[in-house]
A = this chain, B = another copy of it.
Amino acid sequence: MIKVGIVGGTGYTGVELLRLVAQHPEMKLSVITSRKEAGQKVADLFPSLRGHVDMAFSDPARVTTLIDCELVFFATPNGVAMEQVRELLEAGVRVIDLAADFRLKDVAEWESWYAQTHACPDLLEGAVYGLPEVNRDSIRSANLVANPGCYPTAVQLGFLPLVETGVVDLNYLVADVKSGASGAGRKAEVPLLLAEVGDNFKAYGVPGHRHLPEIRQGLRLGAGREVGLTFVPHLLPMIRGIHATLYARLTRRDVDLQALFEARYANEPFVDILPPGSHPETRSVRASNHCRIAVHRPQEGEMVVVLVVIDNLVKGAAGQAVQNANLMFDWPETLGLTQVPILP
Contacts and interface: CB of A to CB of B under 8 A. Distances in A.
A197 B194 contact: yes
Contacts of A296: 206-207
A198 B344 CA distance: 9
Contacts of A341: 48
Nearest to A296: B206
Contact of A202 (B50, B198, B277, B281): B281
Interface in A230-278: 230-232, 234, 236-241, 243, 245, 247, 249, 272, 274, 277
B198 A245 contact: no
A172 interface: yes
Contacts of A223: none
A100 B301 CA distance: 25
Contact of A282 (B202, B287, B305): B202
Contacts of A232: 245, 298, 305
A156 to B, nearest CB: 19
Q: How many identical subunits does the complex contain?
A: 4
A50 B186 contact: no
A286 B202 CA distance: 13
A272 B48 CA distance: 11
Contact of A239 (B50, B181, B195, B307): B195
A201 B178 contact: yes
A187 interface: yes
A49 interface: yes
A178 B195 CA distance: 15
B279 A203 contact: yes
Interface residues of A, number: 87
A22 B174 contact: no
A280 interface: yes
Given A47-B281, A202-B243, A281-B47, A207 B174 contact: no
A189 B192 contact: no
Contacts of A236: 201, 236-237
Contact of A199 (B49, B198, B231, B247): B198
A211 interface: no
Interface string A52-69: 100000000000000000
A172 B343 contact: no
B48 A283 contact: yes
Interface of A: 12, 15, 19, 22-23, 46-52, 172, 174, 176, 178, 180-182, 186-190, 192-204, 206-208, 228, 230-232, 234, 236-241, 243, 245, 247, 249, 272, 274, 277, 279-288, 290, 292, 296, 298-299, 301-303, 305, 307, 309, 313, 338-344
8 contacts: A12-B195, A49-B340, A50-B272, A50-B284, A176-B247, A192-B195, A202-B280, A231-B298
